[in-house]
Structure 1
Amino acid sequence: MFLQPQLRALLRDGAQGVERHDARNLQRSWRKFAAFAYVAEQYGYRYDGLSTLSPKGSPNPYFAFRRLPDAPERAAWSAQHYPAAPEAGPLPGMRPGGSRLRPLPEVQHEVDLLHARIMVDYSRTHRRRGLIALLVLMAAMLIPLSQTGFSAQSLLVCGAVWLFFAALWLTGLAIARHRYRKYSRVLRDSGVDWPSNPSLA
């Protein structure tokens, strides 16, 4: 559903020679987004990590794709061999029919490494995302408290609600750290040095 406009936006930037293409995960699956990243590389844009466009704490950040030096040649080859790709046809490196973002066996390893990079980058966004949500929740609870009064009972209820969501955030943070370590190990074992831009962490 979202693949066609996302692919057309990539091709449009490629035709205009844009140096950086920014995209969000619109595929509802991180593995499918990794497959999209593989397809983007066949059209001349290599996955480059978190984008500076991403708002701090966004649950759906932007990811950057950098234009490769041989982007015109890659795009021309893909257009020649996959002319129907922009109109819901087969995609480079993907199985024909059904879900269009199912990698062929020969490119599965590359897609797996892209998936690991994406998961490492996405895991790094959890800390800011949760902190901002907790601060917003605290401010939101002050509004009804200011109307009903700061009684011991109302403060206790609000404190319990806030602690519940704080516990959820801590659980999510633990999961994100585990995911970060897991996929960092996958990349390290494959000889991939990632993240490429740790300043965005």
Structure 2
Amino acid sequence: MFLRPQLRALLRDGSRGAERHDARNLQRSWRKFAAFAYVAEQYGYRFEGLSPLSPKGSPNPYFAFRRLPDAAERVARSAQQYPTAAEGGQLPGMRPGGNRLRPLAEVRQDVDLLHARIMVDYSRTHRRRGLTALLVLLIAMLIPLSQTGFSSQSLLVCGGIWLFFAALWLTGLVIARHRYSKYSRVLRDAGVDWPPNPSLA
């Protein structure tokens, strides 16, 4: 449903020669988004990580794709081999028909490594996202309390609600850290340094 406009937006930026393309995960699956990142590379844009345009604390951040030096050649090659890709046809590296973001066996490892990079980056956003939500919740509860009065009962109820959501955030933080460690290990074992060290760029 969202793949066609997302691919067209990528191709539009490519035709304009944009140095960076920003995209959100509209596929409802991080593995499918990783497959989209592989397709984007075949059209001249390599996954670069979290975009500077992404709002802090967003549950669905923007990711940046950087234009490759041989982008024009990649676009020409993909257009020749997959002429109907933008209209719903087969995508580069993907199986034909049905779910268009199912990687072929020969590119599955590349897609898996892209998935690991995306998950590492996404896991890094959890702390900001949760802290922002907890702060907003605290302010939201203080506003009605200031109108009705700070009775011990109302403070206990609000405190209990806030602690419940704080516990949910802490649970999510543990899961995010586990996910970060898991996918960082996958990348390390594959010899991929991610996130890239800016001092080495």
| Range class of TM-score, shorter chain | over 0.9
- 1:53/1:102 Cα in 2 relative to 1: closer, same or farther (>3 Å)? same
Counterpart of 2:107 in structure 1 is: 107
Q: Percent sequence identity over matched residues?
A: 85
Indicate if the aligned counterparts of 1:49 and 1:196 stay in contact, CA closer than 8 A. no
Secondary structure in 1 aligned to 2:64? Answer: strand
Aligned letter for 2:104? L
Once residues 71 and 155 of structure 1 are traced to their aligned partners in structure 2, the CA distance between those partners, rounded to angstroms, is: 59
Once residues 39 and 18 of structure 1 are traced to their aligned partners in structure 2, the CA distance between those partners, rounded to angstroms, is: 17
Counterpart of 1:166 in structure 2 is: 166
After the TM superposition, list the runs of 4 or more consecutive aligned residues in structure 1 that deviate by more than 4 angstroms. Answer: none
Secondary structure in 1 aligned to 2:106? Answer: helix
Once residues 197 and 135 of structure 2 are traced to their aligned partners in structure 1, the CA distance between those partners, rounded to angstroms, is: 27
Using the TM superposition, give the Cα deviation of residue 60 of structure 1 relative to its aligned residue in structure 2, in angstroms.
Answer: 0.4
Using the TM superposition, give the Cα deviation of residue 100 of structure 1 relative to its aligned residue in structure 2, in angstroms.
Answer: 0.1
- 1:32/1:194 Cα in 2 relative to 1: closer, same or farther (>3 Å)? same
Aligned residues: 199
Once residues 196 and 73 of structure 1 are traced to their aligned partners in structure 2, the CA distance between those partners, rounded to angstroms, is: 26
Aligned letter for 2:165? F
Counterpart of 1:59 in structure 2 is: 59
TM-score by length of 1: 0.98
Secondary structure in 2 aligned to 1:48? Answer: strand
**Residue 190 of structure 1 pairs with residue 190 of structure 2:** yes
Counterpart of 1:134 in structure 2 is: 134
Counterpart of 2:96 in structure 1 is: 96
Secondary structure in 1 aligned to 2:34? Answer: helix
**Residue 42 of structure 1 pairs with residue 47 of structure 2:** no
Using the TM superposition, give the Cα deviation of residue 197 of structure 1 relative to its aligned residue in structure 2, in angstroms.
Answer: 5.9
Aligned letter for 2:33? F
Indicate if the aligned counterparts of 1:137 and 1:162 stay in contact, CA closer than 8 A. yes
Indicate if the aligned counterparts of 1:49 and 1:197 stay in contact, CA closer than 8 A. no
Once residues 160 and 148 of structure 2 are traced to their aligned partners in structure 1, the CA distance between those partners, rounded to angstroms, is: 17
Secondary structure in 2 aligned to 1:98? Answer: coil
Structure 2 alignment gaps of length 5 or more? none
- 1:158/1:198 Cα in 2 relative to 1: closer, same or farther (>3 Å)? farther
Using the TM superposition, give the Cα deviation of residue 198 of structure 1 relative to its aligned residue in structure 2, in angstroms.
Answer: 7.3
Using the TM superposition, give the Cα deviation of residue 177 of structure 1 relative to its aligned residue in structure 2, in angstroms.
Answer: 0.1
1:122-176 residue CA offsets vs partner (Å, 9 max, x unmatched)? 0000000000000000000011111211000000000000000000000000000
